[in-house]
Amino acid sequence: MTWIEHVEGWRRLPPEEKFLRRWKSIPRDVAQSMAFEKESVEISRLQEILDRIELPVSSKPRGASSLIPS
């Protein structure tokens, strides 16, 4: 699969699925960022913290337009 096919696949996903995938990637993203700064952190610890946070229903009010086209 080419990168173009990956992008097209992402664009076809419903907004809820995109949101969940972004939410689930937070521990990995934080760990990578901290590793870049030469500060190691265990992904499992970050996942534990994320698991204690209630999943937001939405990051914007219903009906609000997005600056980024989906």
Q: Could you tell me if residue 34 is inside a domain?
A: yes
Number of structural domains (the chain) is 1
Rounded to 5 degrees, φ, ψ at 15 are -55, -35
Q: Could you tell me if residue 62 is inside a domain?
A: no
The more confidently predicted of residues 52 and 62 is: 52
Instruction: Specify the pLDDT at position 57.
Output: 75
CA distance 3 to 6: 5
Q: Could you tell me if residue 16 is inside a domain?
A: yes
Q: Could you tell me if residue 68 is inside a domain?
A: no
> What are 13's two structure tokens?
């996903």
Q: Which domain holds residue 38?
A: 11-52
Q: Could you tell me if residue 67 is inside a domain?
A: no
Nearest C-alpha neighbor of 59 from the set 15, 28, 24, 10:
15
The more confidently predicted of residues 7 and 59 is: 7
